[in-house]
Every structure is written in structure tokens, then in C-alpha cells.
Amino acid sequence: MESIVFFGKGGIGKSTIAANISVLFAAKGRKVLHVGCDPKMDSTLSLMGRRIRPFNDQGGSDEEALRRSLHRSIKGIDCIEAGGPQAGVGCAGAGIGAMLDAIKDSALIEKEGYDTVVFDVLGDVVCGGFAAPLRRGFASKAILVVSEELLSLYAANNLISMVNNYARNGVFLAGLAVNAKDQAAVRLAHDFARAANTRVLGVIPRDPAVTRAEKARKPVVALEPRSEAAKSLARLAAEIAAAGIPSSPPRMLGPAEFEAFMDDRPVKPEGKSAGPAASPAVKKNKVASSALLERSGFSMTGVAGGQVVCSWKGGGTTFRLFIAPESDSRPGMSAIGDWAFCFLPGEEPPSDISREGFHAALKEISTLRFDDFISAFSGKLDFYENVDSFGKGSSHPLMPEGDKPEEPYIGFGQWQRFLFSDSSGICVPPGSVMVEHGDNECRFSSCSQTPLSTFQKIAGLANDSTPSLAPLLPKEDHMIVNTDFLYEDAVKGDEKKIAGTLAAAAARTGPGGLIEFYSGCAPLILASDVASFSDKVARDLGVEVLRENFNSFYSQTPEKVRARSAFVARRLAALGRVKPAQDVNLINFGSSREPLTALLAAKGLAVKDWDTEFYKDIASARLQVLSSADPVLTGAFDKLGIKWTAPGAPYGFAATKAWLRALFAALGRKSPPEGFGPSRKESAAHAAAAKKLSRFAAGFVASPGEFGMLEGTWAVSGVPLISFLSESGLALRLFVHAAGPEIKALARTEAAALAAKTGTKPRLAFFDSPGALLKTLAADRALRLVYSDIPLDPRLSAAGKNSFSVAVCEPGYEGALETLRRLAQLCEWDFNERYYFTKSV
Amino acid sequence: MKDITSQKAFEKTYQLPYLLGVFLSLNAVSDACLMVDGANCVMVKADLIAGNHDLFSTLLSESGRHRIICTMWTPVNPPKNPEKKLGAMLNSVAGSGQFGAVLLTGLPYCWLAGMDYDGVARAVSSKAPVAAIPAKSMDSDWLEGYDLTLEALARAIPERKPGKRAKNKVALVGYMFDRNESDHAANLKELTRLLRISGLDVVSIWPSGGTVAELARVSEASLIVSLPYGRKAAKTLARKYGCELLETGLPMGLKGTSSWLAAVRRAAGLPGALPREILVEEREAARTIAPALRALLHKKLMFAGDPYLYSAFASFAAELCATLPLVFLDSSRRPLGAGAAEGSVLFAPSTEDAKAARKALSRYQAPNLAVVNSFALTEGFADGLPFVEFGFPSYGHHCLLDEPYFGFSGARALASRMLNSLQTRSKASSSGADRSA
């Protein structure tokens, strides 16, 4: 089976040529499938004599829909059109891709036994979708249709790059088909073909017969077979049939080269694309590439952000460089062939001698392609140790940069992460609506944490310490909705869906309400027009619509804080003046609300019972107590003069006492008769528990940048963890991975700062590998607990230690005693020591 | 095209996404790695399996050596040539020697950008086979994702070594191994045992929690038994290795198991009827179940889960003299088995429609027992009913001990669960709670 794909600038005559070539092949007895890949749907017009219903209008993407789209035309040619959206909406490229997927999935070509498939593809390459016949490995011969117009040659030049890119799928450039006005045009095409290392397959002269055939909706080779155009097309068909893989591939002219060509100046190959590209038919010897690199002093050390990191050794020095595909090169990089390089910051060759040596080595490897570097790299290194974060292009996982707890899923190979981020406590004001404009995969990109989740961060005042036993079917709240962006939305446009969802959201939030509209990745890539619809809904229905993208769903952008805060203020103002009946309203306290309500009641304060009337609860209390100083609420409260406070979380005896004192001060109340402290009985129980725990130690495996986060920050769910543990009688340890003296010095400074802040004396220990950490932990007999947000962390179990996290911490005096009981229980628990401890350590 | 009953704004549909099926398949092959082109939001989907559904899943790793890797490609800052970058990543994973196979797919927006995953995968040369799974999230569901992942593996594993194949060697392809717990281990043990008694030797089960090398033993089979979750994979394997292909349903229930065994025997070319031992086992299983029938007889069951499991369960329910007046299926519309269409069957309903459908049932059609997956429970489809949590996901029911549901042992175990659920509810309601359910 032979497949031929016609590309070229719009309006240049591709469809005319493609349709005639189909007829000529069919006339030779071939069974031909003619595929129109243009939303204009005019490729098959001359073959069919009428427009046909395209694939994308069949209401399906399966074989049935495909067969409904197939139409038999003259000479037994089967015709199909992809179709697409109206001009300016949706994505025609996606539609073409979907049709080709259906052809592939259904094995239509094999089942029907086509000898030849002719693809007629829309205009220039404006997105990946139009390269679909090449990407999906359908095309074997590519033909570029050109004329004397500058833009047609410009498009052809770009298309050469695309064809070369997909040479791996077996496609090659057969040559140019020239739709020529005159002999000058023919000469220009030949000159371009020479410069681009390709050839002219045929020239179609301007012939009135073509125009007559178009009017009659017939191919010229059928209507006027003796015309000059028909004869030229027959010659072109013969050349196409005979075309084989060229001995060397075509070459895209660089911008300056192309300019010189058009100005009729001598064309000098530019450095960037000077390297001879390998023929798709000629594969380089991988071993030879590796050997060449090794001989020239290069060794691959890793991959970061899609670049190869390699080191060069020579002239008594070693330094590292990034090697990137030329297409991804950035300022400061030097291009050689299809790759570019730059030195790692501060690692340039230090002397003339080494620089000369390096340049000589570079010359030796100048014939290599980027793929050769990858081949030489692959298989030699531990992937996880060398690729940690694709997006950032940074860092070996053991490096100290990025000292910030992150989601556990991001850092591949980041074995040292024991502390993960906590995104709880973000205030989404009740009554506002969040719309996620995305596909079904987006909808399932959240999962409520449960006690069985692999990674957990269910702790702190705002959390529910008895979370749901099972993840829910996302999206879980009736005020959060996913629009279920479908394939047909991509192809035909999503305007209707956006408008409908916004209207429904506006009805739900009501006048003065807030809609947060998040565009997911698929609508973003298609540049969906959200702005005009959101403006209209905002104007017509009196709501505020905030437009965000997928990146900010879980974060508080300044604009989002402003909008949410204004919404809260509007809702509160609408209630008017209400005389507060209660002293305190606890906001965002999760399952801590109940014990803290009891604590406050015992100290004589009246706490607002929790109900679903969020705004009424606020209005009915003198003081709003927040679990954290959320800017959304505090902004609204400040605007309306509502009294609020957000003292440090009451974990541990000292912190609980301080929390109570802060609340009374904010209310302007005198201290209760028995004071703010715990009862005598609670104090005695605490002293006994702390004595018991003083035999043991608790440790943290952390980077120096994380030390400061262990006390009362969001990273530990607001718990003053170091102070709390210290108050509990436990000795403290900090285990730090330190590759060199700088990290050790930094760790000492940060540890001293933490000690000063908390009045504790944590002991520092260093290690340089996972194995060394295991040994260090195992050797410390007093150490029973090591912090990890991974429950029953196997890395700690292997050292015979028990993991703990902020999830064990409970608020208030009674909660602190319960926490101490849990810690003591863990310290004495020997399950891991007995069953998991790896004796070899 | 996706089949969704309701397209109203603000409705949550009971359906699962394509990539969740891909992840499930990956979860079932212990040394396979999946690279997903796209942002890290895809990783969270693993939480819907690892830990919560499968206590022994190795998809996520405490040391960051996850078996799912994402490229972090987003539309906000796309690389100029994402395929080059992807090729680099894939080469380094495949060449690391840490995986039996490496698979590649992408999020829907990457597909929209026209990424050529097949081409990128083909360009990788390494010891580990590399294959692309079509990025079909926008028009396919989780069952399709599961099958196409197996199909990608089928394409990727090596060609067959020459040699004679015994006709009694069979491979089961398209088993839904959604977790590495003892329900599936017991199922596979049971099926392997019953097939052995029937004169057949199981050389490979696709998938069964083992390695890619274990999957590659499929080439030793003369017959491939295609189970519903891997029809495409089974076809590809049969074509690749020149094996006979038999498409079957799931071996559930007493009659269901016997007829399945008989069909496999026939397709393998073994002469005669099933061995007497099988028929004895079937009779013994029936005797074990018999006392439970007193409670199960005439019961109305609600089923919510996947359509293949439903088809098999419907036959089993008929065997128990129970009926299924209400069924919710969490997938796109697809053909159901012959015995599976008596009640009201809703594909991918909205949660509101599902509740309304239950409410609309007449007094005598109201279900007594729900056999449902976790999402049906969390969405309140079975509120007030005794239930058996069944299928994927089962967040509230884990198997640390053998608990099959296929074969004769499976029929006994499943009937036992249904009986106990009904009885627990009876006991609870006898102390004052509503007995009507």
C-alpha cells in the first residue's frame, strides 16, 4: 500500500492536484482512498460532484461512523472528508486526528484492501493536528505543492522541517509539485528545490481547462484528458509513483538563508542547520556514537528538563554542559547540527588549553545528532537518581535546592522527602461556585485523602481527624462542577458548553455571587473564548466571574483572594446588623471544633454552635476565631469592622494556654477565675507522661531549608511541632543529607535558629546516602520515632523505627495528653523492630 | 463517542475516566512503568487505586520511585519540540534496566496537540520493550483504557520462540486484576485449578500481578481465552502468536463456571465432556449454597459497577432465584450478555438520575440488597440498603484472606457475602431500625 500526502500553503491548488492524482492512480487499476483533511471539505468535491457529509458530523468516532462517511466516486475511488468546525471555533486538527485514529483502529485500509491512499491536508502547518497523517505513520510520500509566491515557498520550507521530523515514521519528501504561472516560477521552484536538497517532480501550467473542470465539478484529467494540465498531471503521477527514498534528506533553509534565496543572493548554509541530517533510511550505529563520545572525552551524567547533562574531561580539567535539541535552544547556547550546548553556570573551560581541547573534541562529535546523545546516555544510569523533576530542569534529588515540601507525586526519585505540603485551610466561601472547564481526566485529578491513602496529610485544626473512609466520586461538592469537555467540544467548539455552564453557575450562586471559572489544559490549548461569555454572564446576571487556569485551582492568587473576600463581604453586608448572641465563632476548625468548644465552655465562653449558616454564624458572634489567618476572611472582616483573631494553634500545654489568653484578650475579657492553664489533674498526668517519654527521642529527616517549617507553619498543619515534642519530654534529632561542608554549615545555622525560636536543643546528624541514613537511624537506640507523612513509612520500618506525623497531635489540654499517650505507645511499639528491621544495617 | 445519560450542567456522572483504566492495568503488571505526557495532576488518580483500593499496590513509592511518571508538559509553557524532550525521557527510563516494559500515553490536551506517541515509542531502542497506549481520554472510558494498555503490552512483548505448543496449554487474556489482594489471588488460583482438573494447563494470565516476563509466556499457549476486559489484547496476541482464540464471558456462578470450562475444553480441542470431578464440585458447591437460598430467594438486587461483571452476576443472581430490577453501569454503553437485560439498566447515569430511578421503582421492585462498588455507595445509590461492596473500586472491603468470586469457590464466597449482608441488616433492624429494606 502506498500513501501520499499533499501539503502546501492554502489556495495553491493542492486539492485540485490531489484529486486528479487519485483519478490517475485509479485509472491504472489501483484501489484508491481519497482523504480530505481540510475543514473546508472541498478536496472530494470534484471527485464526487457534490459535498459529502464529513466524518466529524457523523456523531461518533467508531468504525460505524467511519463507514457512514465513506462515499464511492468516479473510477471507484472511495472518498472521505474529516470536516471540522466553523471558521474560528474549535480545532480542525483534532478532528483530523480523530478521523485518522478511527481509520487506524478499524484497520479500514487493510480490510478494504486499498492500494493507494491520498491525503489532502489543509494549508500550512498551523498545529500538530495537521501533521496527523505523518504523526500517525500513515504517509509514506510527502509532496509539497508550491508556486512562485514567496509565502508558498516559505510554507514549503517549514514543511520540510516537519517531514524530516517524522522521518522516523517512514515518511520521506518525494519532491515538489509546482503550480506555475510562467517559466520564471518554474526556475524559482527549481532553485528552491536545489537549495533545499530536494527535486521538482512536476510542473502544472496554468490552464483554462482546470477552471472549466472546477466549474463542472469534475477532475480535469477526466473532463479534458488531452488538455495541457491533464498531460502534466499524468507526468506528475508517474513521477510520484516512481519516487523513492532520497539518498540524503531535504534541508530546511535557515531564516537568513531563506532571505538570501528570495533576494537572489548566494545561499550559505547557516550554522544551526548546517549539520547533515541523517537519511531516514540510514541508521547510525549507536555503539559508534557512544564510542565517539567516550573517545572525545564526553560522558553522559543525567537528563534534566529534556536536556542531556554531560561532562567533558580533558586538558586536566572537567566541566559540565547542557545539550538540548536545537529546536529548544535558548540564548547563550551554541548550535551544532540538530543540537545546541551551553556550559553549566560557572563551569566554563578555565584556560585556553582546555578551551582549545574542548573545541577539538566538539569538532569530533559535530556529526552526531541529538538522538545520539540520548542513545549514549540511556541504560547507563539509574533513571530516578538522575531525573527528578522534568519541569524544572533542576537538581539531582540529593541536592538541597528546592527546600520546600512539595506534593509527594512531583518529585520522582526524591527519596529523602518525609514532609509533604498541606493544602488544607484554603477558604472557598460558601455560596460561590467553582467551575472546572476540563475533561473527565481533570475531574478525576483530585482524591480525598483517607486513612488508607499512600500519602496522607490529615492533620491540623482545619482538618477532620476522622476523614471519609473512602474517596468520593469527584467533583464532590454541588458547588463545584466539571464541564466534561469532550472530543466534540474540541472539534466543534465549546462555546455552548461554556455559556450553559456559566448560566447554571450564575443561577446557583445568585445575584451578587461569585463564579470561579478554571480553564483546564484542553480548552487552554484550543484558546477557548471564555472572556466574552463570562463578561456577558457577569453583566446580565449580576455576578462576578473570575477567570483562572488549571494552575491556580488549589492556590490563592491575589485576584482570587480579592474576589473571594469581596464576595464574603457582600454576603455579610446583606445580612444587615445582627446583635451578637455568642462570644466566639470558630471558623474552619474541622474536627478540632468539638474539643475546643468544650475547652472554651469550661473557661466560661459561649461558642456559636456549628450549623450550615456560615454567614449567620459569623454575624451572631462577637469574635471570629480562625484556624489560620486566611486573607479571604480577614480581608472581609477588616472591611466590615468584624473582630477576629487567629492565634497560634493550641497544640501542647503551653500553646493551649497562649491560645486561650489570646482569645480572652481579643474579647476584652478578664481571665477566668481558675486561670488559663490546665487543671491540677491534667498537669500531673502530663508530668508523668513526659517523664516516661524522656527516655526516647524523635527525629526528622529534613533539609536545612525545612527546619524552620517544623514549628507552626503550614508544612506541619500549623502545629508547633518542635515545641510540642520538646514539652512532651522527647529528645530531638535532625538528620540531614549533606554532600559537602556548605550544607553542613547551613544545617548548623538553621538548627541554631530553630533552637533559639523554640528553646529546644535538637541534635544534628549527617548522612550521604539512603543506606547511610538507614544505618544512622538504626544505630540510635533512644530514637524511636521519625517524622514522615507516609504512614508506616517502610524506609523507617526498615531501620526498626516507627514513623509519626502531625496526624497524632490533638488540640487543647486533653488533646495534648492524648497525644502524649499516642507518642508513648509508638515509642514502645516493637512491630517494626521485630518484623521489618533489616538486620544487615 | 462518550455515552452520557445526562448532559445537564452541574451533574456528576457515574463513570470513570480512561486513564484510570490504564492505571489499573499498569497496577496489575508489577514491573511495568508508564510515562504520561502531561501535568502532575494525573498522578493523583493513582490514589484512587493505591492504598485506598489496593493495599499492595506498587504504583506509588515512598522513595519516589513511582511506576507512573509524568513529563510535566503543560499548555502554559510548552516546549518547542515536546517530542524530542519526551524521547529523551523515555530513552532514559527504558534504558535504565529497571522495568520489564515501558508504556507511554498522554493527557487529552497533549493528544489535541497531535503528539505522535507511537512514533516516539518506536524510536526508542532499549532492552525493555516500549509501546504507546493511544491517548483516547476524550472519547473512551476506563474499560477501554484497561484493554488498550494490555493491547500495548501485547504489541510490545517479544515475538515467539520457535517450538511446538501442546494443545492443552491455554492463556487467559483480559482478566480484570484491579488489585493485588487475595480476592484476585483466590480467583486465579480457583480458575487455574479448575482448568487443570479439566485437562488444561494455564501458562499465562493477562494480567495477574506478575511481571512482563510472565506475560510473555502467553506465547506457549495454543489457545487464548479472551475475557471481556481484554478483547483487543487477546486478538493482538492470537494474531501475533498464531493461537486459537475463544471469546468468553466471566466464569461466575455454578452453571456459569461449568459451561465456561466446557467451552474452553472444546476450543482447546480436548475430546469428551467435563471430567466427573468438576461436576462433583459443582454439586458440592450447590449444596453449600442451598441453605443461603432461604434468605436469597426472590430477593431484588441492585447492581452498580462495570458491565462485564454485571453480565456475569446477572446469571448468578438468576441461579439464586433473585432478580436485578435496577442496574447502574459506570462505563460507556456497550453490549451486555444475554441474561443481563431484564431490569432497568442505566449507563453512566448522573447521580441524580440514579437516585430518581431507584425512587421510581414500584413497591415490589424495590431492591432488598445492593451489590455495588464504592462510588455507588458514596453517592448514596444504596442508601438504607444492606450491601455487598463488589468490583472496582472497593474502598470499604479489603481481602487479606482468600475471597474469590469466580469458579465454584467464588460462587460460595459471594453467596456467603450476600447472605451475611442481609442477615447483618436483619439483626440491626430487629433492634428497632427499619426492617423494610
A375-388 tens-digit pLDDT = 666 555 666 765 54
The string of pLDDT tens digits covering residues B92-148 is 888 888 899 999 999 999 888 888 899 899 888 788 899 999 999 988 999 999 999
Residue pair B175/B206 in contact by the 8 Å Cβ criterion: yes
Give pLDDT, residue A91: 67
DSSP single-letter state for residue A367? T
Distance CA B1, CA B333 (A): 10
Q: Is the pLDDT of residue A247 over 90?
A: no
Determine the distance in angstroms separating the CA of A535 from the nearest CA of chain B, rounded to an integer: 19
Among B213, B208, B212, CA closest to B187: B208
Highest mean pLDDT among A42-56, B117-131, B238-252: B238-252
Highest mean pLDDT out of A56-60, A323-327, B365-369, B425-429: B365-369
Grid-cell match 471481556, residue found = B228
DSSP A247: S
pLDDT in tens, A795-819: 999 999 999 999 999 999 999 999 9
Last residue of a domain, one of B278, B312, B329: B278
What pLDDT is stored for residue A275 in this prediction?
Answer: 37
Q: Which of B278, B302, B324 is the last residue of a domain?
A: B278
Report the CATH number at residue B122.
Answer: 3.40.50.1980
DSSP letters for B81-99: SHHHHHHHHHHHHHTTS--
pLDDT tens column, A87-122: 655 666 777 877 888 888 888 999 999 999 999 987
Across B362-382, average pLDDT: 94
Does residue B321 lie in a domain region?
Answer: yes
Residue contact B91–A380, C-beta within 8 A: no
Both B316 and B425 in a single domain? yes
Q: Are residues B361 and B261 in the same domain?
A: no
- Give the 3-state secondary structure of residue A442: helix
In the prediction, which pLDDT does A493 show?
A: 84
Q: Which phi and psi angles does A16 have, rounded to 5°?
A: -60, -50
Query: Do B44 and B91 fall into the same domain?
Result: yes
3-state secondary structure at position A481: strand
> Within 13 Å of residue A382, how many CA atoms lie on the same side as its CB?
10
Amino acid at B311: S
Q: Which string of DSSP letters, residue by residue, matches A95-154?
A: HHHHHHHHHHHTTHHHHHT-SEEEEEE-SS--SGGGGHHHHTT--SEEEEEE-S-HHHHH
Strands A78-81 and A200-205: unpaired
Per-residue pLDDT at B402: 97
Mean of the per-residue pLDDT values of chain A: 85
C-alpha dist (Å) from residue A457 to A82, A408, A451, A714, B384: 49, 11, 10, 11, 32
Rg (CA), chain A: 35
Residue B351: HSE in the Cβ half-sphere, 13 Å Cα cutoff: 20
Residue written as grid cell 473500586: B393
Q: B69 φ, ψ to 5°? A: -125, 135
> Whole-angstrom Cα distance, residue B183 to residue B191?
12
Cβ neighbour number for residue A43 with a 10 Å cutoff: 29
Average pLDDT on A492-500 reads 88
Residue A476 pLDDT exceeds 60? no
Is the residue at B73 inside a domain?
yes
Name A448's Cβ contacts closer than 8 Å, sequence gap at least 6.
A467, A468, A471, A472, A476
CB contact under 8 A, B65 and A415: yes
φ/ψ of residue B351, rounded to 5: -65, -30
The percentage of chain B sitting over the pLDDT mark of 70, rounded to a whole number, equals 92
Q: What angle do CA A305, A554, A499 make, to 5 degrees?
A: 105
What is the percent of chain A where pLDDT is above 90?
47
Contact call for B74 and A306, based on CB within 8 A: no
Q: Which of B278, B300, B324 is the last residue of a domain?
A: B278
Packing angle between helix B276-296 and helix B407-430, nearest 10 degrees? 10
Q: Decide if pLDDT at B177 tops 70.
A: yes
- pLDDT at residue number A457: 78
If asked whether residues B273 and B299 sit together in one domain, one would say: no
Residues in A touching B125 (Cβ below 8 Å): 286, 375
pLDDT score recorded for residue A768: 86
* B411: Cβ contacts below 8 Å, ≥ 6 apart: B252, B253, B254, B257, B285, B289, B316, B319, B405
> In terms of CATH architecture, what is A573-667?
3-Layer(aba) Sandwich (3.40)
| Stretch (H or E) spanning B304 | strand B300-305
pLDDT score, position B9: 61
Residue A375: predicted pLDDT: 67
Q: How far is B74 from chain A (nearest CA, A)?
A: 7
CB-nearest partner of B95 from A91, A378, A526: A378
Task: Provide the domain count of chain B.
Answer: 3
pLDDT at A406: 56
Predicted local confidence at residue A378, as pLDDT: 56
- What distance in Å separates the CA atoms of residue A407 and residue A240, rounded to the nearest whole number? 55
Q: How far is CA B229 from CA A63, B21, B25, B177, B249, in A?
A: 20, 10, 10, 10, 10
Q: How confident is the model over A271-284, as pLDDT tens digits? A: 444 333 433 433 44
**Single-letter amino acid, residue A26:** A
Is residue B179 within 8 A of residue B57, CB to CB? The reply is yes
Residue B436 belongs to a domain: no
Centre a 10 Å sphere on the Cβ of residue A186 and count the other Cβ atoms it contains: 16
Q: Running DSSP on this structure, what letter comes out for residue A503? A: H
Q: Are residues B146 and B186 in the same domain?
A: no
CB spacing of B87 vs A381 below 8 angstroms? no
- Range with the lowest mean pLDDT among A528-542, A713-727, B348-362? A528-542
Min mean pLDDT across A54-68, A511-525, B310-324 is at A54-68
Residues A806 and A790: their CA atoms lie apart, in Å, by 11
Under 8 Å between Cβ of B285 and B308: no
More confident site: B316 or A553:
B316
Q: Cβ distance A157 to A253 under 8 Å? A: yes
Provide the 3-class DSSP secondary structure of residue B172.
strand
* Residue A464: all three cell numbers together: 477532620
Give the type of residue at B198: S
Residue B55, CA atoms < 13 Å, CB-side half-sphere: 15
Distance CA A574, CA B367 (A): 47
Q: Which residue has the cell 479489603?
A: B398
Q: First vs last Cα of chain A: how many Å apart?
A: 63
- Distance from C-alpha of B101 to C-alpha of B30, rounded to nearest angstrom: 10
- Looking at domain A2-262, which CATH architecture does it have? 3-Layer(aba) Sandwich (3.40)
Give the residue with greater pLDDT, A729 vs A270.
Answer: A729
Question: How many CA atoms does the CB half-sphere of A776 hold within 13 Å?
Answer: 20
Q: Supply the range of the domain harboring residue B426.
A: 289-430
Q: Which of residues 236-255 of B touch A (CB under 8 A)?
A: none
Number of helices (H), then strands (E), belonging to chain B: the values are 14, 13
User: Are B267 and B345 in a shared domain?
Assistant: no
Q: What is the pLDDT of residue A279?
A: 39
Q: Which of A78-87, B233-242, B425-434 has the highest mean pLDDT?
A: B233-242
CATH architecture of A680-835: 3-Layer(aba) Sandwich (3.40)
Shortest CB distance from B76 goes to which of A374, A483, A551?
A551
- List the one residue out of B59, B317, B36 whose CA is nearest residue B180: B59
Please say if the pLDDT value at position A241 is more than 50: yes
Domain A433-555, CATH class in plain words: alpha beta
CB B392 within 8 A of CB B373: yes
Instruction: Record the cell numbers describing residue A761, joined without a space.
Output: 536543643
pLDDT, tens digit, 9 for 90 and up, residues A572-614: 999 988 888 899 999 989 889 999 999 999 999 999 887 668 9
SS3 at position A268: coil
As a whole number, mean pLDDT of residues A820-841 equals 89
Retrieve residue A88's grid coordinates: 474560528
pLDDT recorded at residue A87: 60
Residue A437 bridge partners (DSSP):
A519
Helix, strand, or coil (residue A223):
helix
Residues B316 and B262 occupy one common structural domain: no
CB neighbourhood size of B91 (10 A): 28
B335 CB near a chain A CB, below 8 Å? no
- Supply the residues of A annotated as catalytic: 9, 14, 40, 124
Q: Is position B4 within any domain?
A: no
What is the rounded radius of gyration, in angstroms, for the C-alpha atoms of chain B? Answer: 22
Give, for A782, the enclosing helix (H) or strand (E): none
Domain shared by B146 and B189, yes or no: no
Among A103-117, A320-334, A435-449, A818-832, top mean pLDDT goes to A818-832
Q: Are residues B193 and B225 in the same domain?
A: yes
> Do B326 and B383 fall within a single domain?
yes
pTM value is 0.84
Chain A residue with the nearest C-alpha to that of B55: A452
Indicate whether B162 belongs to any domain.
Answer: no
Domain ranges of chain A: 2-262, 286-381, 433-555, 573-667, 680-835
Q: In what order do the strands lie in the sheet with A644-645?
A: A582-587, A621-626, A644-645
Question: Is B64 inside any structural domain?
Answer: yes
Who has greater pLDDT, A347 or B195?
Answer: B195
Report how many Cβ contacts below 8 Å link chain A to chain B. Answer: 299
Q: Does the residue B419 lie in any domain?
A: yes
Res. A340 pLDDT band, cuts 50 70 90: confident
Beta-bridge mates of residue B264: none
Nearest to A6 by CA among A194, A154, A138: A138
The residue type of B304 is A
Contact list in A for residue B64 (CB cut-off 8 A) is 384, 388, 397, 408, 411-415, 417
For B86, nearest residue in chain A (alpha carbons): A306
Cα–Cα distance, B288 to B403 (Å, whole number): 16
The answer, yes or no, to whether the previous bond of B207 is cis (omega within 30 of 0) is: yes
B147/B254 same-domain check? no
- In angstroms, rounded to a whole number, what is the distance separating the alpha carbons of residues B403 and B421? 15
Tell me if B133 is assigned to some domain.
yes
Checking if the pLDDT of B184 tops 70, the result is yes
- Is the pLDDT confidence value at A793 over 80? yes
pLDDT digits (tens, 9 = 90+) for A734-766: 999 876 788 899 999 999 999 999 999 999 999
- What one-character DSSP code corresponds to residue B78? -
What value does the mean pLDDT take over residues A225-237?
Answer: 94
Is residue A269 scored above 70 in pLDDT? no
Confidence category of residue A477, pLDDT binned at 50, 70, 90: low
What was the pLDDT predicted at A288?
A: 65
Mean pLDDT within A35-57: 88
Average pLDDT score over residue span A168-175: 88
Residue B106 identity: G
Question: Min CA distance, A137 vs chain B (Å)?
Answer: 7
Q: Give strand ranges (E) for A280-432.
A: 298-304, 307-314, 317-325, 334-336, 339-343
pLDDT of A680 over the 80 cut: yes
- Best CA proximity match to A751, nearest among A690, A694, A699: A699
- Per residue in A511-556, pLDDT (tens digit) is 999 999 999 998 888 877 788 888 988 999 999 999 988 777 777 7
A455 or B263: which leads in pLDDT: B263
Give B334's DSSP letter: -
User: In terms of domains, do B101 and B182 share one?
Assistant: no
Residue B250 pLDDT exceeds 50: yes
The Cα B41–Cα A444 span in angstroms is: 9
Look at strands B300-305 and B323-329 and give their pairing. Answer: parallel
| Per-residue pLDDT, A274 | 36
CA nearest A399: which of A391, A409, A389?
A389
* Cβ count within 10 A of residue A62: 13
Q: A327, A371, A377, A390: best mutation site toward chain B, by most B Cβ within 10 Å?
A: A390
